[in-house]
Amino acid sequence: MIKHELHRVPVTALAFSKDYLFAGEGPVLRIHQRHDNNLLETVKIFASQAIHGIAIYHDGIVVWGGRLVALYTFTSDGTSTLELVSSLEATDWILDIAISPELSGNKRKAALITAHNALLLLDLGDSNTGLQELTSNSKCILYSAHVHWTDDEHILIASGTVFGDIVLWSCFLQTHGAPSSVLHHVLIGHEGSIFGVQIFEVPTDQVHEGREGPSRLLASCSDDRTVRVWDISYLPETATDPQAAADLTSARETGFGANVADVLPGNASGGKCIAKAWGHASRIWGVKFIPSPTSSTISYVVSFGEDTTHQFWSLKETAPDEFSLTHHGGSCLHSGKNIWSWAIHQISPEHVVVASGGADGSVAIEPKSVPFTNQFDHTQSWSIQDLGSLCPEQSTSGRPDMLRSYAFLGKTDLLVTTNAGNILLLTQDEQRQPVTEWICNEPKLRGYSVVTSIPTLSIAFLAGMDGSVMLYDGSEIKQLVKSTRKTAALFAQDLTSLNTAHHQVGLLIANVEAKTALFSRFDLSGSEDSPRTTENLLTWRLTLPKGFVTTSFLTINLDSEGSMMLVVGSRSGSISIFLIKEGGIIEDDITHHCLLDRAHGTDSVTDLAWFAEPGSTSNGGHIFSVGKDGTYAIHRLSRSDSSIGLRLISQTTLPLGTNIEGLYIDGITGHLLVWGFHSRRFIVFDATDETEIMSIDCGGANRIWKFEPESGLQGGHFVWTQASQLCLFSQIQQPTKVLNKGNHGREIKSVAVAPKNPTNVGILFATGSEDTDIKLFTYQNEGKVPHFHCLKTLRKHNTGIRQLEWSSDGHYLFSSGGFEEFFVWRVETAPLVELGVICESVYPTESDLPDLRIMSFSCVEEDDNFIITMVRSDSTLRMYRYSPGQENHWSILMVGNYLTSCLTQCLHIQRDNGAQSLITAGTDGHVAFFSLEAGSTFATPEPSALRWSSRSIIHQNTIHSMRLHWFDNRTCLLLTGGDDNAVAFSICAWHPAQCTPQVSTVIIPRAHAAAVTGVEILASSTANLLTVATTSIDQRLKLWEVQYDSSLPGLDGLSIKRRGNYSTAVADVSDLAALDSSSLIVCGVGMDVWSYSG
């Protein structure tokens, strides 16, 4: 009747084998090829328990989660990767499992440590013997533990307690006799619960000759945000049993590190912390050691945190018996909060692969070289003294020279100008070593210069104080154009689409405080390896709109006869369009044909790009723009003989802040790239896939810089000035790979499925999360593997999303949240990014209460308008008419008040006879009915009163979800789920003489084990036979069959049967929706899709 299709939940376990990458997602294990990360197989390990860890050995894997353990062996039949051997259950939560060393003649064993510090043993060769208890439980609760086999008879355990102590102890196996255990240390120092520990045997060649260095280390991380490394080379045997010591740590006075030394034997607390460091913004969940290939470094450490970063460290001995942890940068490859799993695969002593699994359901795979390097290890730098030594003409002012401007002449060739007028060229030789060449000293560039270039043509344009514009063609610098004022900016573009030896070049010259700008066009022949000539130079003067300061420029060829459209962006956020027709009078000033005001608010338009669909006519296309308002915009341009039309189809806020500087359309992938500065970093962002391509710590936006993208989404070349040095960083290959990207990093609070998908590919649905983002996904189940695809992230809400709802045509999305936030989004198709979305309107707030929330709303379409009723946390209601396309979008129709309880649900219904009503539900467990008089949805000078006419108690407390289904024109089923764990089926019957219904309810108490947060009425073949789905925080999905016989009075005709009870991997379930007639989606901490039939 129902089948699980796909889920996207936090990745809670990761492990590498020689050939595979294993990822635990809920109860499911996904198996990927290690070399290309392709998904091979999905295996359901447990019925409902999430996977918490994976241990690999030669013949198979051991998987655990909670108290459950599953043993699998590798197969070679080609049909499946794994074969189940046995499933076992421990008496307590399992924290770690380690496999014994592989020794000839010895059977492999697995040691398990539980949350109460009990050690168990599993014989992998004969799992039928079950789990053998080696030590008993202690009273102490552990948050983390690591099991380490020193040999086949000695098991060393590090146990991290809730009170911030680490108990280090051993268990010795006896061939003939009972095992024995001994306490070594209780390590004191952390000021928070211990979330991660790992033991590491230092390779013998790392131990310094002539004196004894650490031979065994322990790394730990904690709630106190520190990473600490302990020397545990010496393992003394105390007289105290380790379980008794653990009990002593928990029996002491509450607090971290308070007085544990007072209750332990004298030598038990003697472990030495040799290094500690801070590097995370919040709690740290785990640490891993990586062996060092050199003797200068003892080891490397990777830490994984709540801040979704993993940080890299090296441990070195700085002086005899003095050690330090040095930070080598970090990576943030997940969204939201929490890295829940990690694994490291050592390819060679110098190369490792670090994998991390996030709460956003993605797996990030990052290759790293050992020793660890950071950005600055791959950055070339030149001081002004280095560059100045190449210049035969030194500065005569007595002041040191300084870097002035940069321009790329190719992917690796860079033109540099200095304050003294020197022009230099930085290139690479055949061995990719940097080569610096002095070209000349140009007096016109002394004290001031601006430079731009066309890297594909290897040419650059230079201008100085006197308005002279010069061309550098790869061999010489020559005068090109002369303007009358100081040049403020230069913009150049290759106007030839074909790759030929003859190119037409366009150049816009913007002057300081000028009311005009100059546009020059000329033909360039030859190549960078042969002499170049410029011919047919033409110049037009553009009259700029009042107050217009040029910040960006784009040329569009309109036809083969040479007519052009010039698109110019301004500092004030507007875009101006000029038309240049071939054969026109060049001496006449050209005024703008049209002006698009506030395209980016009042902030600068920093870059422009043109995209025309393949095969489209010259009369249409799309203008892409980015601005300092932190958005990229797409305008659809249409042109006729007499006019130009511009229509905004998308404006998307980027996660980079407001310093957006440029954009680029990648010709290989068809993706839109955007770059800019966020805090100290320069970031290149793929706006199509919504992923970060490149990130460089350059110190921030206030500096001279230039960027040239690398095709194929591989990165690019970035040059900047920092501390009076020229710094050049190149990324020609994408270093990381992210599987299952594009998800929320926090719990989803609402989901809404679009009745129609404008893209016509898959099922379109929207999710709103606690992270304040709205994401638009498609679910596609055609083909071999169903999958989600994130199309767009909408960033405008300042609080968590409460509710989402679509219009019937899928072109409008409505969203509500706290702070009285209510937004109207217009959705349509767009090139390169699939969906274009703009926030068309923002509901005008009316209350002064800062925490007033729009808890729910109902939207009804009337002609071309929307009737929107909102219920709010202060028990008030508001009804509005929203009119798209009109100057005054919002008209208030009705206002009302319920009682004093918070309203949580709202439905606007209309019966066949035209009568309309509102149904609300709230925290008091009642549903209330509001009768709407005819004509109440028409605007009036003053809003009319909205009063409830009847109410019925349904639940004991808050009603979290509500759906309605009509049996006929007078009778409906009202389905509700409550905080009392109950599901209610209410028959609402309207009699002809009554405006309020008679309500009869069947309550199913304890329908779930926790609050019922989602109910849905699924498609049915008949009006009176329904299938109903309910979900709860108890992570259960239940199906119910509802049959109604209208010939019987009231509840006599209602029959309810439970048809299914299934487990979902989504925690904190918050909503449920039908994707189509045969599938539904469950949302919370992740997403889960089920298909059903019958």
**Between 584 and 1046, where is the model more confident?**
1046
Reply yes or no on whether the pLDDT at 49 is more than 50. yes
Integer Cα distance of 936 and 933 in angstroms: 6
Reply yes or no on whether the pLDDT at 943 is more than 70. yes
pLDDT digits (tens, 9 = 90+) for 789-837: 999 999 999 999 999 999 999 999 999 999 999 999 999 999 999 999 9
pLDDT of 742? 87
Element (H, E) at 862: strand 854-862
Domain hosting 1015: range is 954-1094
Is 193 domain-assigned?
Answer: yes
Q: Which stretch of 241-250, 762-771, 862-871 has the lowest confidence by average pLDDT? A: 241-250
Integer Cα distance of 304 and 296 in angstroms: 25
pLDDT of 326? 94
Q: Which stretch of 95-99, 257-261, 603-607, 925-929 has the lowest confidence by average pLDDT? A: 257-261
Domain boundary among 337, 368, 393: 337
Q: Which stretch of 120-134, 151-165, 254-268, 560-574 has the lowest confidence by average pLDDT? A: 254-268
Reply yes or no on whether the pLDDT at 65 is more than 50. yes
How far apart, in Å, are the Cα atoms of 4 and each of 13, 532, 1061? Answer: 21, 66, 12
**Between 386 and 98, where is the model more confident?**
98
Is 74 domain-assigned?
Answer: yes
Q: What percent of the chain has pLDDT over 90?
A: 70
Reply yes or no on whether the pLDDT at 388 is more than 80. no
Tokens 């009392």, residue located: 980
Q: What percent of the chain has pLDDT over 70?
A: 92
Integer Cα distance of 358 and 491 in angstroms: 43
pLDDT of 911? 78
pLDDT digits (tens, 9 = 90+) for 321-367: 899 999 998 999 999 999 999 999 999 999 999 999 999 999 999 99
DSSP for residue 797: -
pLDDT digits (tens, 9 = 90+) for 617-654: 667 899 999 999 999 999 999 888 778 889 999 999 99
205 residue type, one letter: D
Nearest alpha-carbon partner for 788 in 1056, 540, 1079: 1079
Reply yes or no on whether the pLDDT at 579 is more than 80. yes
Is 980 domain-assigned?
Answer: yes
Q: Is 282 exposed, middle or buried (0-12, 13-18, 19+ CB in 10 A)?
A: middle
**Between 191 and 501, where is the model more confident?**
191
- Quote the tokens at residue 860: 């009804």
Q: Which stretch of 57-71, 257-271, 757-771, 1062-1076 has the lowest confidence by average pLDDT? A: 257-271
pLDDT of 210? 44
- How many alpha carbons fall within 13 Å on the CB side of residue 150? 18
Q: Model confidence at 258, in pLDDT bands (50, 70, 90)? A: very low
Q: Model confidence at 394, in pLDDT bands (50, 70, 90)? A: low
Decide: 507 and 495 in contact? Cβ < 8 Å: no
How far apart, in Å, are the Cα atoms of 114 and each of 15, 97, 98, 813, 1027? Answer: 20, 9, 12, 49, 43
Strands (E), 75-224: 82-89, 94-99, 109-114, 119-123, 131-133, 142-149, 154-161, 166-172, 180-187, 194-201, 216-222
Reply yes or no on whether the pLDDT at 616 is more than 70. no
| Domain of residue 1041, CATH code | 2.130.10.10
Is 987 domain-assigned?
Answer: yes
Distance of alpha carbon 296 from the chain centroid: 38
Decide: 533 and 525 in contact? Cβ < 8 Å: yes
Integer Cα distance of 306 and 284 in angstroms: 6
Reply yes or no on whether the pLDDT at 209 is more than 80. no
Is 265 domain-assigned?
Answer: yes
pLDDT of 641? 74
Q: Which stretch of 153-162, 206-215, 790-799, 880-889 has the lowest confidence by average pLDDT? A: 206-215
Is 1001 domain-assigned?
Answer: yes
The full DSSP string for 134-177 is SS---SPPEEEEEEEESSSSEEEEEEEETTS-EEEEEEE--SSS
pTM for the model stands at 0.92
Reply yes or no on whether the pLDDT at 255 is more than 70. no
pLDDT digits (tens, 9 = 90+) for 225-238: 999 999 999 888 87
Integer Cα distance of 362 and 352 in angstroms: 20
Nearest alpha-carbon partner for 472 in 542, 538, 413: 413
pLDDT of 187? 93
Is 675 domain-assigned?
Answer: no
Domain boundary among 280, 304, 337: 337
**Start-to-end Cα distance in the chain:** 6
Total count of domains within the chain: 2
Q: Is 241 exposed, middle or buried (0-12, 13-18, 19+ CB in 10 A)?
A: middle
Q: Model confidence at 777, in pLDDT bands (50, 70, 90)? A: very high
Reply yes or no on whether the pLDDT at 473 is more than 50. yes
Dihedrals φ, ψ of 839, to 5°? -80, 100
Q: Model confidence at 409, in pLDDT bands (50, 70, 90)? A: very high
Is 209 domain-assigned?
Answer: yes
681 residue type, one letter: R
Nearest alpha-carbon partner for 682 in 691, 669, 692: 692
pLDDT digits (tens, 9 = 90+) for 68-83: 999 999 988 777 889 9
